[in-house]
Chains A and B, each alone.
Chain A
Amino acid sequence: MNLAFILNNAPLLMEGAAMTVALAIGALLGATLGGGVVAFLRMSRYAPLRHVGTGFVEIMRNTPILVQIFVLYFGLPTLGVHMSAFTSAVLAMSLQNSAYIGEIYRAGLESIHPRQREAALALGMMPGLALRVILLPQALRRVLPPLGNQLIIIVKDTSVASTIAVAELTQASKLLLDRSAAPYETFATVALIYLAISAGVAGVLKLVEWRYPVRVS
């Protein structure tokens, strides 16, 4: 074991890990909000909005995140639209994952029995208030497990940002692998850091699930 090599390069790895977390937080916020928009479109009363939502979901689900990043980072500048590598990566991850998360939200809302909405309306609630106070709280609790899985996928997707030279963890590991003869140590350390970040996200989600349990009547 060449632990000294890892220790010497700990600052590089930690900076990479910090960038990975920053990418993940950006994409996580983008995708959880974007997912709301997607669900809203997909469940709209108006057919054209539904079609836009369906088209977006199909395109995002059927094309790789890597290609989306390349389109944004290498393709758009030819049209005069320039974004930093970080912005391109966060935007692409947000778009792709908002398609998946939108479908998760939709399934959650559709799993709430229509009688719940009816009971809320009968108490004099406006449709918007019924959604906020009665339907969404129940739906969000039910979607916590699949949402957690998707958030971990976002953490892992951040590694793709290394292909456009964002200085995140995978990029840091490539630098180390290039300059060293300690591939296993580097590889194992990087894998463990990713595992720790994923486990952290999963742990937070478990806490939220425990705090807001699903109840049925």
Chain B
Amino acid sequence: MSDLTSPAISEPLVVIDRVGKSFGAVDVLKEVSLTVAAGDVLSLIGPSGSGKTTLLRCVNYLETYERGLITIAGESVGVEQLPDGRRRRKSDRQIAALRAQVGMVFQHYNLFPHLDVLENLTVAPCRVHGEAPAQVRERALALLERVGLADKRHRYPSELSGGQQQRVAIARALTMQPRLLLLDEVTSALDPELVGEVLDVITSLAADGITMMIVTHEMAFAREVSTSVAFMADGRLIESGTPEAIFETPAHERLRSFMQRYRAGSRL
């Protein structure tokens, strides 16, 4: 997994530059700018409808964006800027090639129900990269071992608990050896008693220096695991900084009231 732990370089891995997106008349993202360096763990927090999931989905172009530009390792995501200032959608092949370098874990796991656990991990490396099955299999088994599910490799997703399915989904994303891992509310669909096992896996990935962008409602987790935290509301990036700065000394009024409600235990 050398790709994931490449030493810090001067250029950030992900650059989000004044990105904007509209659904009809509603601006869901307004001039959002952020950077993520290799090895960083960035948590996106904020109330529902703040645009944090939309932003995350723009990073691998599952969601289009109309303004600004996202680049990963210097390569623009989804669109290219022409010299005359116009934008052109990249080809399906280019977009797929970029997605192959960006892992994503979804709220609803989205495992492939017709494939067993091991096949869920191996299908993309074999079919997208054309890697040798034996080699992929070895890597996949190591990753299943790592998420504690090697004994379930021949089970089907429907035979696993939600927490186990989500750990498989994390291993599936990692089998592609991505440079960046996107996690979209990965514990929101889980029963409370299953949340811990998934968060433990993510914490151990962070300790290994895997670059991650995490959308989450688990504040204690965000604080523990992140190297930086960004707070969004109404499609805007309101405040970002170290976990300590965001959680201890929030500057912006919106963030302070969000934290207060969070501490009061109300649903966010």
A contacts, CB < 8 Å to B: 115-116, 118-127, 129, 133-134, 137-138, 141, 212, 215-217
Contacts and interface: CB of A to CB of B under 8 A. Distances in A.
A122 B104 contact: yes
A113 to B, nearest CB: 8
B128 A125 contact: yes
A217 B173 CA distance: 17
B114 interface: yes
Given A124-B176, A126-B96, A133-B123, A215 B113 contact: yes
Given A124-B100, A133-B127, A138-B114, A118 B93 contact: no
Nearest to B99: A124
Contacts of B114: 137-138, 141, 212, 215
Given A119-B110, A124-B97, A129-B128, 12 more contacts: A116-B110, A119-B104, A121-B99, A122-B102, A124-B124, A126-B93, A138-B112, A215-B114, A215-B156, A215-B157, A217-B109, A217-B110
Interface of B: 60, 62, 92-93, 96-104, 106, 108-114, 123-124, 127-129, 156-158, 165, 172-173, 176
A199 B156 CA distance: 31
A121 B127 contact: no
A115 B128 contact: no
24 contacts: A118-B110, A119-B106, A120-B112, A120-B124, A121-B62, A122-B62, A122-B106, A123-B124, A123-B128, A123-B172, A123-B173, A124-B97, A124-B176, A125-B96, A125-B124, A125-B127, A126-B92, A127-B92, A129-B128, A138-B113, A141-B114, A215-B157, A215-B158, A217-B157
A115 B110 CA distance: 6
Nearest to A138: B114
Given A129-B127, A133-B127, A124 B96 contact: yes
Nearest to B95: A121
A134 B128 contact: no
Contacts of B93: 126
A109 B174 CA distance: 28
Given A118-B62, A119-B106, A124-B176, A216 B113 contact: yes
B26 to A, nearest CB: 21
Contacts of A127: 92
A88 B110 CA distance: 46
Contacts of A126: 92-93, 96
A24 B141 CA distance: 47
Contacts of A123: 99-100, 123-124, 128, 172-173, 176
A129 B100 CA distance: 13
Contacts of B97: 124
B136 to A, nearest CB: 13
Contacts of A115: 106, 108, 110
Contacts of B100: 123-124
Contacts of A138: 112-114
B128 A124 contact: yes
Contacts of B156: 215
Contacts of A119: 104, 106, 110-112
B171 to A, nearest CB: 12
A217 B115 CA distance: 10
A214 to B, nearest CB: 8
B112 A116 contact: yes
Nearest to A129: B127
Contacts of A124: 96-101, 124, 128-129, 176
Contacts of A215: 113-114, 156-158
Contacts of A118: 62, 106, 110
A138 B97 CA distance: 25
Contact of B60 (A122, A134, A212, A217): A122
Nearest to B116: A215
B24 to A, nearest CB: 20
Q: Which 10 A-B pairs have the closest CB atoms?
A: A124-B100, A119-B110, A123-B124, A217-B113, A122-B104, A217-B157, A215-B113, A124-B99, A124-B128, A115-B110
A34 B92 CA distance: 27
A137 B104 CA distance: 23
A72 to B, nearest CB: 39
Nearest to B105: A122
